[in-house]
Amino acid sequence: MAKIENAEAVVEEIRKVRQARYFEDQPVPDDVLHQLLEVARWSGSARNQQPWRFVVITDKAQLKAISEVRESINWVAAAPLAIALVFVTENATTGYDEGRVSERILTAASLLGLGGGTAWFLSDAEKSVGAEVIGVPDDMFCRSVVVLGYPTTLKDLREGANIPGRKSLDELVSYGKYGRSKA
């Protein structure tokens, strides 16, 4: 396996990836979108089933319609681009595959100077409305949309936003067995 010369810098950038909800009114260039779609295409999946299809959304009316599916995803309307993750089957590994491909898109986007976040359709009713907006066939499903653009801030300015920061490794990590600290 090839070692990247500036691997530490890349790892530091990956550590700093955060959800972005506020974007400049600037389109994402086609070549950048193509790079992101290639990253998505090459993301790993259980048994390499590649259970996804990707719907690129740049139409402002469509983005606004997605943002109206659920109040807490109203920020989608201001984005220049979204990639809907449409799945051909739902099974025990679909959630893992969905998280894996969305995180890879978001990480690559960050490394390319973009920001983004994931908007979720939670209930069956929301999934149904989202599927209609995106044109998902009845035998497939979509519950998340990766939203991308050039961020104006990474801070969550919404009322009741999540508390920033991270717990310490001492709070999160055990060694050998749960609750065991490093010897």
Q: Which two tokens stand for residue 2?
A: 């090839």
Dmax (CA) of the chain: 57
**Contact between 82 and 148 (Cβ < 8 Å):** yes
Q: Per-domain residue ranges for the chain?
A: 18-154
Beta-carbon contacts of 76 under 8 Å, excluding residues fewer than 6 positions away, are 63, 64, 66, 67, 82, 119, 145, 147
Distance CA 69, CA 19 (A): 19
Place of tokens 């993750």: 85
Q: Which of 147, 92, 141, 138 is nearest to 119 (CA)?
A: 147
Give Cβ neighbours of residue 75 (< 8 Å, ≥ 6 apart): 21, 22, 67, 117, 119, 147, 158
DSSP string, 125-177: HHHHHHHHHHT--TTSEEEEEEEEE-EEESS--STTPPPPS---HHHH--SSS
Secondary-structure percent of the chain, ordered helix, strand, coil, rounded to 5: 40, 20, 40
Architecture of domain 18-154: 3-Layer(aba) Sandwich (3.40)
Question: Is residue 183 over pLDDT 80?
Answer: no
pLDDT in tens, 31-63: 999 999 999 999 999 999 999 999 999 999 999
pLDDT tens profile 3-35: 788 989 888 888 888 889 999 999 999 999 999
**Average pLDDT of the segment spanning 120-126:** 96
- Band of residue 162 on the pLDDT scale cut at 50, 70, 90: low
Query: Of 53-62, 101-110, 112-121, 169-178, where does mean pLDDT reach its minimum?
Result: 169-178
CB 109 within 8 A of CB 36: yes
103: helix, coil or strand?
Answer: helix
CB atoms within 10 A of CB 81: 21
